[in-house]
Structure 1
Amino acid sequence: MMYSIIDIETTGGHASGNRIIEIAIYKFDGEKITDTYQTLINPERRIPVFITSLTGIDTEMVADAPVFADVAREITDFTRDSVFVAHNVNFDYTFVKKELQALNMPYNLPKLCTVRLSRKIFPGLPSYSLGNLCGSLGIDVQNRHRAAGDAEATVRLLNKLLLNDTEGFIPKSLKKNSKETLLPANLPREQFDALPETFGVYYFHDHKGKVIYVGKANNIKKRVISHFSGKQQNQKSQQFMQAIYGLSYEVCGSELLSLLLESHEIKKYFPVYNSIQKFGEKNYGIYQYEDNAGFIRLSIAKVNKLQHPLISFRYISEARTFLLEKVRTFQLCHRRSGLQTAPCSDVELCTACKGTTRSTAYNVKMKRALATFEHPDHSYIIKQPGRTRDEYAVIVVEAGRYLGYAYIPADLSGSTIEELKPFVNRHPDNRDIQKILAMHQRKSMVIAV
């Protein structure tokens, strides 16, 4: 098997807004170096001072160097039919692939990451950065932070990995169905393999164990891998991948329970890579008034500080959909419900516009509809599936205040809030929780108590 050990130097840490300024490739057959390729590359922009201080490469040094387009074919030809190997491979591979994509040149090679391989084959070392790792393994590194020096050190590292891979981890990593190279360099594979394929909340941790991201999922394993299978070209996503050192999860019984737990955990940990949880402001409300003929009417209007709507929505389309469902269910008038301005005498069941229904009779139907709108002070229980067949879950709201949820053994029954309170895992109530519950109520039935 032929390996192409590659190291690049760049103008910055993410592929979406930076360019390659140097590349070195060492062809290695598993025993010896068979060929090398190295060149400076003109990034067609100035090289930042901090990159010059790190690598020693400045703008003048690359002024007469080829641009990437001039060497692209050489790079693809040189690495053809080989395994792309690098220390934190997704960084180097993403840069090379993006440069080639800009030239409409496809590039797909199998990959190996010497960070992940080292963590598996040489566990327990204090650091897996290239310099520290080579120091621990007795590998001499010359010309650090230049492409050729780092690439040559990575060749020696790969050689040690091949010689010490007694469990065949390297060939396993190269199998097509292996997700090894998708995972962040510092994330243990065992933690990913342990993920269940069910509802729940997952947590990414940094090198100190601190939670840096919380997410919810209908399928935890599938959702987690989706974080790693994107292009990862922007600065934030690449920093995120490099910051992940651990992964944990908590199984939930349903999507609703996952949403509630996720919201609670984000506010508990304030993870650095989570956007602050915000639901859109409710911009449109449904208002009630009585016309000159005594009919109760509804209208949709923008929410303002002077009037309190019966119920509010982020988008006007959501308000109209909500009203349309009430009109159909309670046989109301489209015009008097704020859905149209023209008389609706031709609309089926609209007897109000036809003059065959008096306001008193019509208002009875309208009041029944209004009774199904949100009532913030009522108490209710939402029953949900449990995490296993041996339990079920309940979400408890008392006097409009969210108390929390509980997983109840299947052989225990409880139909009142007082009976369920001792089991409830108490969580703080807040606007985000109330909005999650409100969205669920519009879609489902709840048990009022």
Structure 2
Amino acid sequence: MYAILDIETTGGQYNEEGITEIAIYQYDGHEITDQFISLINPEKPIQPFVVKLTGINNEMLRNAPKFYDVAKRIIEITEGCIIVAHNAGFDYRVLQAEFDRLGYNYQRQSLCTVELSQKLLPEQKSHSLGKLVRSLGIPISDRHRASGDAMATVKLFKLLLAKDVEKEIIKNLVRSGEKKEVSAKIFNLLEDIPPVTGMYYIYKENGNLVYIGKSNNIKRRLHQHFTGTSRKAKRLQKDAFTINYEETGNELIAQLKENQEVAANKPIHNRLIQKVAPPYSLYSKKNKEGYIVLTVAKTDYRKKEVTSFRNTNEARNAINKFIEEYNLSSELIATTRDIELDNIINGTDITNITAEEYNTRVDRFIKQYSFYHQNMIIIDKGRSIEERSAVLIEKGVYKGYAFYDLNHQINKPEILKNILIPMPHNRDIKNIIQSYLRKKRNLKIIRF
């Protein structure tokens, strides 16, 4: 649990500043669970340059509560939380100084989003809050007011958690967490896991990540792990100490993240994703009459395929879809001797169609489904109704994904790249995306 906060002060000498406004958003890594926002009477004048910067003046604070009036609420909302702030050293120091004046020893762990953004977003020209969130497309209102800056920090921290693909933030927090009894751990661990699409991460007591999984319903999948009797299930039941999860909003991003994160983290209970060619692929070649023939054959990496299939059933269903959508002919769809595809629909009759006209249809199909040289942004569901996801493909290479608010339009790759979570490309990724595009007909795709 995190307490993401921002503090406005009077300005003045070091450790003599007074708090004029505070905003705290309690955040569980996925959503805001509580909040506290208040002006505070610092019982000392505000420096003129601060009045000009924040708009908060002495008159506004005359009837505001004093710090000791709100101290108990601040302790309660931050209890058991990690303090997160942009330039956390300043905000945490000022907060501690106020408690020191009351004779209370206020201690919390803290994370600084300046330091995190410097590590996870090194390409950004500036890591000041205003410039950073603007370049990332994060909306910010009431700049230099505690509530506006704290909410912008919440959204920035959410992005940083997503960018932290090696889970260093979570690992460090798990390692530094207090030891606790886990005798009834299994069902306690599942209590706060929601039935959403996303990723889940299982950690041992020493903070080591031992398993990464994905599911359209992560609560149900974890329940299967923890009630299963297989050797793998029993190993997970024995090792599980902490579970973290991450919503992805849709299955595509979950698959892409699993592919990358298993390879990057190599959890001991995951089978490493094998870089094995899908068994079957679709190839194109003109026959002697000049018509383009599409042939399903065993995958040959020496040739450039149109698309690939995991099995003959997937190939059969895809071929029928292609014939129907592009008015192709089953007469010009072939298979090699070792592949049998039954129940293929007939499609168009080529006796009254020229090779040029038919090949135009095939070219449109190849342009749509071949991954090579594709430039597109795949728009899909986000983690909430106010959010969408975007997957970027440039010249047939997967570049990464991002989540964005609906009021921030993503229609060009240059805009998307500012908030993109970069990911490596491989043939498995290509096949994951192609398979997903075949299954999901109503996806919005921006081609450029």
TM-score range, shorter chain: 0.5 to 0.7
Contact 2:379 2:391 in 1 (8 A): yes
Whichever of the two has the greater Rg, that structure is 1
SS in 1 for 2:331: coil
> In structure 2, what is the equivalent of residue 317 of structure 1?
313
Which residue, out of 363, 370, 381, partners 2:366? Answer: 370
Within 5 Å, which residues of 2 pair with 1:143-182? none
Mapped to 2, the partners of 1:188 and 1:194 lie a distance apart of: 12
> Is 1:265 matched with 2:261?
yes
Q: Check if 1:197 corresponds to 2:190.
A: no
Deviation at 1:365, TM superposition (A): 2.7
- List per-residue Cα deviations over 1:150-202 (Å, max 9, x = no partner): xxxxxxxxxxxxxxxxxxxxxxxxxxxxxxxxxx8463754321112211111
The answer (yes or no) to whether the contact 2:281–2:297 under 8 Å persists in 1 is yes
Q: Could you tell me how far apart the structure 2 residues matched to 1:204 and 1:276 are?
A: 16
CA deviations over 1:43-80 (Å, ceiling 9, x no partner): xxxxxxxxxxxxxxxxxxxxxxxxxxxxxxxxxxxxxx
Aligned length: 261
| Counterpart in the other structure of 1:227 | 225
**TM-score, structure 2 normalization:** 0.53
Aligned-partner Cα distance in 2 for 1:226–1:211:
19
- Which residue does 1:249 correspond to in 2? 245
C-alpha displacement of 1:318: 2.7
Shift of 1:321: 2.7
- How is 1:36-435 mapped onto 2 (pairs within 5 angstroms)? 185=183, 187=185, 189-232=187-230, 234=231, 236-278=232-274, 281-304=277-300, 306-338=302-334, 350-352=348-350, 355-435=351-431
Maintained 8 Å contact 1:285/1:310: yes
SS at match of 1:423: coil
Q: Is 1:280–1:314's contact at 8 Å kept on the other side of the alignment?
A: no
Give the residue type in structure 2 aligned to 1:392. Answer: R
Alpha-carbon distance in 2 for matches of 1:389, 1:349: 40
Change (3 A) 1:125 1:374: closer
Distance 1:392 1:339, change over 3 A: same
Contact 1:185 1:242 survives alignment (8 Å): no
Letter in 2 for 1:249: Y
Which runs of no fewer than 5 residues in structure 1 stay unpaired? Answer: 1-123, 129-183, 342-346
- Partner SS for 1:393: strand
Report the CA distance between 1:323 and its aligned residue.
2.3
Aligned-partner Cα distance in 2 for 1:200–1:248: 11
Match of 1:335, SS state, is helix
Question: Cα–Cα, structure 1 residues 203 and 324, in superposed 2: closer, same or farther, change >3 Å?
Answer: same
Q: Return 5+ residue gaps in structure 2 as ranges.
A: 1-177, 338-344
Measured in 1, the distance between the counterparts of 2:430 and 2:362 equals 26
Alpha-carbon RMSD across the aligned residues, in angstroms, is 2.8
1:120 paired residue number = none
The aligned counterpart of 1:175 is none
2:101 is aligned to none
Paired residue secondary structure (2:365): helix
